[in-house]
Amino acid sequence: AQSVTQLDSQVPVFEEAPVELRCNYSSSVSVYLFWYVQYPNQGLQLLLKYLSGSTLVESINGFEAEFNKSQTSFHLRKPSVHISDTAEYFCAVSRKDTGRRALTFGSGTRLQVQP
Partner 1 sequence: GAGVSQSPSNKVTEKGKDVELRCDPISGHTALYWYRQRLGQGLEFLIYFQGNSAPDKSGLPSDRFSAERTGESVSTLTIQRTQQEDSAVYLCASSPPGQGEIYGYTFGSGTRLTVV
H-helix or E-strand spanning residue 16: none
Cβ contacts of 45-52, under 8 Å, gap ≥ 24: 47/76, 47/89, 48/76, 50/74
Which residues in the 34-73 window bind partner 1 by CB under 8 A? 34, 36, 41-46, 49, 51
* Contact window for partner 1 (CB under 8 A) among 13-21, 63-71, 72-80, 103-111: 103-111
> Given the complex with partner 1, which of 48 and 81 has the nearer CB atom?
48
Q: Is 11 in the site for partner 1 (CB under 8 A)?
A: no
Give the rounded distance of the alpha carbon of 84 from its chain centre: 17
The answer to whether residue 90 forms part of the interface with partner 1 (CB under 8 A) is yes
User: For the chain, what is the radius of gyration of the CA atoms?
Assistant: 14
Stretch that binds partner 1, among 13-21, 63-71, 76-84, 94-102 (CB under 8 A): 94-102
Q: Which is nearer to partner 1, 9 or 55 (CB)?
A: 9
Question: What is the residue-wise DSSP string for 52-101?
Answer: SS-SEEE-TTS-EEEEETTTTEEEEEESS--GGG-EEEEEEEEESS-S--
Please identify, among the stretches 22-30, 64-72, 77-85, 91-99, the one whose residues bind partner 1 according to the rule CB under 8 A: 91-99
Give the nearer residue to partner 1 in terms of CB position, either 16 or 60. Answer: 60
